[in-house]
Structure 1
Amino acid sequence: MLLYTRTAPPKEPKRRSRGGCTFCKEKKKKCDETQPECSRCAEHGIECTYEAVKPRQRRRREGSSSCATPRGILGAYPSARRLSGASYGSSPYMEDLYDSEEACEESSPVSRGGQGDVAIIPRLRSVNPELAMIAPCPAESPLLGFCPPLFSEFSDRPNRRALMDHFCNVLSHLIVFREESGNPFQQLVLPLTRKSSPVMNAIYALASAHLEYRGVANTEKSLYFHNEAVQGLARLIQHNSKVNRNEMLAAIMLLVYYEVLVQRGRSNIVAGHLKGALTIMCTNPESSDPTSAFLERAFRFYDVIAALSNGTAPLSAAPAPGCLQPFPPLGAPAASPLCNIDTLLGMATTLWPIIHRLSDMLSLKSELERAVQANDAAAKIAVLRTEFESTTDAIETALSQWQPHLPPNFIPDEQGTKSAHSLDDITAGILDRQDTPSPNPSGKSHIHSILYNALAYRHSSLVYLHRTIRARTRSHPAVQKHAHLSLAHCAATVQHAGPMGALLWPLFVAACEAVSPEDRKLAGQAFAAVERRQGMMNIGRAWEIAREVWRRADEAEGFPSSFPDLGHGWQYWKGAGAGGCGDGVRDADLWRQVSRDMGVNIVFG
């Protein structure tokens, strides 16, 4: 029986401090508010920042205006999955590379602290960012969601959040073939930024450089972020036992993308970065998780492209035929119409081992020429010559017989596979559709674009084989045949408005050998479309080099060059046969001489 009642004492209300640092607030952890750096930020090795404490505001009554985030904002940005890897190895070479690189470059004068020096970058409307949305990524991961204000978990600075927005919603879509279930750069690389400032700074550098080339200013220059990424990478190397292997590879490969985009003079930094990546992969091999597999696929692509661009041997060994399987985005269905398409190589996955062997042939040819010039032993010269000729024949046979593995139930247009386009149809398609991406990333037009990209690689590889390796004349029927077919496929890739991120090398190789007015017109229109779509410096530089190659080759043939009307030059070429600048090895690599004269060293990625 209840005899009496007693009022319970009121519970002491929980009071939360509002003066914690930004990182602890985001993590919803108690901050010890130590100045200038709290213990949690010191433990994680991140920058500790405090925001001004705002006065409390009374809650609005029901019926007052809402300030909720507009519907659709949160779902508009695909989020990333968190994947971790094992620690990586290092070497004295790596320490020397990233301790000394760019040490003398002038850093951005922007102050690292304070908000007064930060410029807000608006969303790019003038450059049509929707052109980059080749494949929307509706899937969201529950592991790493983006919260308002947009991208605030990456930085409290508005301009840096804008750079991350540009990377996620424009740039990352321009450099992949396949993303029907998400963009691999967002799924696999972006989560690494939570623990790695070099990866974050490399992303900022890449996005900022892309915007700068498009004419969008930012007070924190791309060079500033680049230097921060390189210095952070050096610190990671010094503490290699505590660092994720994938963080190192991601930072290096992002710096490769940056160097390819900005094209600073005759620099060999790309080769240095690739050597660093190879050192990491060889020093600490491990079972391949999706992040490692994706980063190693990016390394394979640039290892071969850099070798073809620089005339050097690739760093890695050629993969065995059939060992490269298409790398899909995370969560891609097994029955996808894009199941035979690689994220970074498109339909050229089975072609890549052949191109890898081709990229090593120029170094073998140079070795043979040095042996002949040095009057080495006849046996040595015979062995080198036999190896060179047999390997060249094998590569030519493999390229001639190669066919892409088409997705199931996909039947290509007959005119596309036979290259029976008329010039008027192709150029009309380029002009009509170069600014309109394929609306359906799994649709027939999108897949056709990827198919034509792979066929362009095949024919440009044959151009490179006949012209650079076999030293045949520009007028040789095989050179002109495959140059024309490659340009037709490049134009068809543009016409179908699919991915164009890997089109520059086959387009450039074929364009340099173009002689007829029709082929040169195709090359010019394809270059214009790709540059407008991708917005990268190496595309414009490559077009300048190709036109200078035409001018010098035409002058050497004995007639003045004119663009695009080259009727008299075409007639002269048809009747000239071999002669002038077209004689053998003397102009086989004319474009390399033009590059040296211009003071540039382009990697055609």
Structure 2
Amino acid sequence: MDPAGVKMLLYTRLAPPKEPKRRSRAGCTFCKEKKKKCDEGRPQCSRCVEHGATCIYEALRPRRRRKASLATSSSSTISSNDSHRLSLSRRLSDFGYDSDSASPPESTEVDYMFSPPDLHQSTYWNAPSPTPSHPLISPTESLFTLPDLSHAEELTEDAEDGGVAESWTTYTAVTTVSRPRPYYPDLAMIAPCPVTSPLFEFHSPAFSEFTDRPNRRALVDHFCNILSHLIVFREESGNPFQQLVLPLTRQSSPVLNAIFALASAHLEYRGIQNEEHSLFFHNQAIQGLGRLIEQSAKSNRNEILATIMLLIYYEVLVQRGRSNLVDGHLKGALTIMCTTPEPSDSTSIFLERAFRFYDVIAALSNGRAPLSAAPTAGCLMPFPPLGAPIASPLSNVDTLLGMATTLWPIIHRLSSIVTLKSDLQAAIWSNASASKIAVLRTELEATTQAIEAALSRWQPQLPPGFAPDEEVDQKTNKTDKVHSTHLSHGSKIDVMSPTVAERSRLHSIWHNALAYRHSAFVYLYRSVHGYRRSHRAVQEHTHRSLLHCAATVKHEGPMGALLWPLFVAACEAVTENDRGLAEQAFEKVKKRQGMRNIERAWEIVREVWERADRVESVAGAGAGAGAGVDRGAKEQEKLGDMETGEDLWRQVSREMGVSVVFG
């Protein structure tokens, strides 16, 4: 063909612009994990349909742009207050877990009833000789410092859209988040808040720095705002469980699981069910504790002790049959304290104080000697919350022992007398040598006389500026106003005088300490000396203890440590008046605390009353008819030798199949 004859038309057509690739932020979690583009089909995208995955769309969070460093110059237009609030809000968004960057694996069904490892066979439970007392340090030291946000790297859009991914590590049945150490939120900011949410300054959802699961955040909220306030005496500058124990969760999942277990169990007893059962968290905490102990050289002593003490609180609250787990945990805590250096911080001091409390209470509950040595006189000083002022109306109040700090060494020695009495009885029954029996009897008599004299002399050490304005009248059961001359130090008292609310709280703590004193007398006379229930000394101290218990709940102060004196006195109550006081106090304590051991203790007290009344009625009938004397003796032997043998309440609890720790 002739090229000249070809007519050609040349032209240029502009191609349509190529649509830029944009990463969707509204895609499903499955596509984000695979780093694939999601067509955002509803209810399921095509990729999830193809792979048979569950298609989940999360709430779309506002996009963060690149921002300048928070370290602004003096010419910045942002005020210092605004900068402070901004830095607080960024702690969770920039240094916490970003739900848009990585999605947690889907929750799977877990068998909550699997058994925890048998730690009783490990060296964890082999306690060495008792640990000596540790000196206290200044509780006002700051244990944590805020991270320097001015040098933190800013997250870019790509990082926000999926470039930054957290690594998820699965241990057995529990899934935890593994973060680089600098990314842990500083929990010291939540410490000083005694009433409201520790994260009140931050954006919702609250407690998101602990976990991304709403049900677990609710458990942290319950622990901080409800449970932690029920088990301490003093928190004018903050709650010690929030100040000292909660920060340990940033490094240790066993501590956090123990908190979950305790809070969940407390809610379950109140009829509130969580998505995950408390037993599941308990087993996870036990397994994590075992791993911490295996690597004890690399583990923090406080993390191990905190996990153990929280598990003790859990076991006391749950009360599953005649379990000896509390004793096992106490042996483990003693082992840790003896094999690691002495405490040098407030957290260690606080955890050891919690151990001392439960060591004595468990000994009194189970009829054995404490595991640790008795503290020397003046060794235990009142432990305040962090930041508490030195000149405070609560200066003589201990966080866990109240005004009974100086009484605790006496109670410690009292709890060990039962074993000394058992040794004497065993020597007599086994026909031991006369010299051995004489030595044991002399030791028992000398110890009991010393304890009785110490209890007679002891009085609570009142804080400066506080004098009780009431005395309990044991005849009228009323509290009479009295004019005290306890005030001193001149004008300083006006500065340190407690407010109306503080006075009510102090009166409750004061009555609590006196209830311990009188119940200690009852325990000494009944369980050690073997006095009859109707003995004048027994009934006098029983009545006075119940009056102080009733006054404690009347002032609506702390009731977390009231169960032991209330139970000991209530078991020996004979008159309708005393039993009415006991019932009133039990009802208010049970309603306030909401714990299973209080309900179990009340059930035991009522059974003790029923059996004691039955024995008295049978004995009275036998006294009226000569032929009925033998029948009354046999009935008393059948119901238990209440006067010279085992305590009736111990026999009742054994037959009921429960063991109650009165803490």
TM range (shorter): 0.7 to 0.9
Go from structure 1 to structure 2 and tell me whether the alpha carbon gap of 1:250 and 1:597 turns closer, same or farther (over 3 Å shift): same
Go from structure 1 to structure 2 and tell me whether the alpha carbon gap of 1:556 and 1:160 turns closer, same or farther (over 3 Å shift): same
The two structures have a TM-score, normalised by structure 1, of 0.73
- The counterpart of 1:531, out of the listed 584, 590, 598, is 590
Amino acid paired to 2:281: F
Go from structure 1 to structure 2 and tell me whether the alpha carbon gap of 1:319 and 1:18 turns closer, same or farther (over 3 Å shift): farther
Match of 2:599 in 1: 540
Kindly state the Cα deviation for residue 17 of structure 1 after the two structures are TM-superposed: 12
Match of 1:123 in 2: none
Match of 2:516 in 1: 457
Map 1:73-88 → 2, pairs under 5 A: none
Map 1:469-484 → 2, pairs under 5 A: 469-484=528-543
- The counterpart of 1:492, out of the listed 551, 563, 569, is 551
Match of 1:246 in 2: 302
Q: Does 1:284 align with 2:340?
A: yes
Q: Does 1:590 align with 2:648?
A: yes
Match of 2:429 in 1: 373
Match of 1:354 in 2: 410
Encode CA deviations 1:64-98: one digit per residue, 9 max, x unaligned.
xxxxxxx9xx99xxxxxxxxxxxxxxxx9784558
Go from structure 1 to structure 2 and tell me whether the alpha carbon gap of 1:55 and 1:485 turns closer, same or farther (over 3 Å shift): closer
Kindly state the Cα deviation for residue 58 of structure 1 after the two structures are TM-superposed: 7.4
Contact 1:137 1:180 in 2 (8 A): yes
> Match of 1:415, SS?
strand
Two-structure CA RMSD over aligned residues (Å)? 3.6
Contact 1:487 1:507 in 2 (8 A): yes
Kindly state the Cα deviation for residue 137 of structure 1 after the two structures are TM-superposed: 2.0
Go from structure 1 to structure 2 and tell me whether the alpha carbon gap of 1:140 and 1:508 turns closer, same or farther (over 3 Å shift): closer
> Match of 1:286, SS?
coil
Q: Does 1:519 align with 2:575?
A: no
Q: Does 1:202 align with 2:280?
A: no
Go from structure 1 to structure 2 and tell me whether the alpha carbon gap of 1:192 and 1:471 turns closer, same or farther (over 3 Å shift): same
Kindly state the Cα deviation for residue 286 of structure 1 after the two structures are TM-superposed: 2.1
Contact 1:554 1:560 in 2 (8 A): no
- The counterpart of 1:166, out of the listed 187, 203, 222, is 222
Go from structure 1 to structure 2 and tell me whether the alpha carbon gap of 1:350 and 1:238 turns closer, same or farther (over 3 Å shift): same
Q: Does 1:385 align with 2:444?
A: no
Match of 2:73 in 1: none
Amino acid paired to 2:600: R
Q: Does 1:232 align with 2:288?
A: yes
In 2, the alpha carbon distance for the partners of 1:441 and 1:147 equals 35
Kindly state the Cα deviation for residue 196 of structure 1 after the two structures are TM-superposed: 0.4
Q: Does 1:404 align with 2:460?
A: yes
Amino acid paired to 2:648: L
Kindly state the Cα deviation for residue 467 of structure 1 after the two structures are TM-superposed: 0.1
Contact 1:490 1:507 in 2 (8 A): yes
Match of 1:152 in 2: 208
In 1, the alpha carbon distance for the partners of 2:339 and 2:23 equals 48
> Match of 2:471, SS?
helix
Q: Does 1:509 align with 2:565?
A: no
Amino acid paired to 1:348: A
> Match of 1:332, SS?
coil
Go from structure 1 to structure 2 and tell me whether the alpha carbon gap of 1:554 and 1:396 turns closer, same or farther (over 3 Å shift): same
Contact 1:208 1:221 in 2 (8 A): yes
Amino acid paired to 2:659: N
Contact 1:175 1:502 in 2 (8 A): yes
Kindly state the Cα deviation for residue 146 of structure 1 after the two structures are TM-superposed: 5.3
Contact 1:474 1:582 in 2 (8 A): no
Kindly state the Cα deviation for residue 383 of structure 1 after the two structures are TM-superposed: 0.8
Encode CA deviations 1:107-161: one digit per residue, 9 max, x unaligned.
xxx98579xxxxxxxxxxxxxxxxxxxx97279999x975521000000000000
Q: Does 1:269 align with 2:328?
A: no
Match of 1:302 in 2: 358
- The counterpart of 1:184, out of the listed 233, 240, 252, is 240
Amino acid paired to 2:315: E
Contact 1:95 1:237 in 2 (8 A): no
Contact 2:471 2:479 in 1 (8 A): no
Kindly state the Cα deviation for residue 377 of structure 1 after the two structures are TM-superposed: 1.4
Go from structure 1 to structure 2 and tell me whether the alpha carbon gap of 1:451 and 1:343 turns closer, same or farther (over 3 Å shift): same
In 2, the alpha carbon distance for the partners of 1:398 and 1:454 equals 15
> Match of 1:443, SS?
helix
Amino acid paired to 1:604: F
Match of 2:141 in 1: none
Kindly state the Cα deviation for residue 598 of structure 1 after the two structures are TM-superposed: 0.5
- The counterpart of 1:341, out of the listed 397, 400, 408, is 397
**Hey, which bits of structure 1, 4+ residues long, moved more than 3 A?**
15-19, 51-59, 92-99, 110-114, 138-142, 144-147, 418-421, 423-426, 439-442, 579-588
> Match of 1:551, SS?
helix
Kindly state the Cα deviation for residue 288 of structure 1 after the two structures are TM-superposed: 2.8
Encode CA deviations 1:270-300: one digit per residue, 9 max, x unaligned.
0000000000000013243100000000000
- The counterpart of 2:477, out of the listed 392, 413, 422, is 422
Amino acid paired to 1:463: V
Kindly state the Cα deviation for residue 583 of structure 1 after the two structures are TM-superposed: 6.8
In 1, the alpha carbon distance for the partners of 2:122 and 2:584 equals 45
Contact 1:347 1:404 in 2 (8 A): yes
- Specify which structure has the bigger relative contact order, considering alpha-carbon pairs within 8 angstroms and separated by 6 or more residues: 1
Go from structure 1 to structure 2 and tell me whether the alpha carbon gap of 1:519 and 1:559 turns closer, same or farther (over 3 Å shift): farther
Contact 1:338 1:442 in 2 (8 A): no
> Could you list the runs of 5+ residues in structure 2 that have no partner in the other structure?
1-21, 36-55, 65-84, 90-118, 127-171, 177-191, 482-497, 621-631
Match of 2:316 in 1: 260
Match of 1:85 in 2: none
Q: Does 1:137 align with 2:209?
A: no
In 2, the alpha carbon distance for the partners of 1:17 and 1:243 equals 43
In 1, the alpha carbon distance for the partners of 2:269 and 2:552 equals 24
In 1, the alpha carbon distance for the partners of 2:361 and 2:572 equals 19
In 1, the alpha carbon distance for the partners of 2:583 and 2:662 equals 17
In 1, the alpha carbon distance for the partners of 2:455 and 2:502 equals 28
Contact 2:197 2:224 in 1 (8 A): no
In 1, the alpha carbon distance for the partners of 2:474 and 2:469 equals 10
Match of 2:662 in 1: 604
In 2, the alpha carbon distance for the partners of 1:16 and 1:402 equals 74
In 1, the alpha carbon distance for the partners of 2:355 and 2:440 equals 29
Contact 1:487 1:523 in 2 (8 A): yes
Size of the aligned set, in residue pairs, is: 476
In 1, the alpha carbon distance for the partners of 2:581 and 2:380 equals 33
In 1, the alpha carbon distance for the partners of 2:405 and 2:260 equals 30
Contact 1:95 1:234 in 2 (8 A): no
Q: Does 1:558 align with 2:620?
A: no
In 1, the alpha carbon distance for the partners of 2:344 and 2:61 equals 51
Contact 1:147 1:153 in 2 (8 A): no
Amino acid paired to 2:262: L
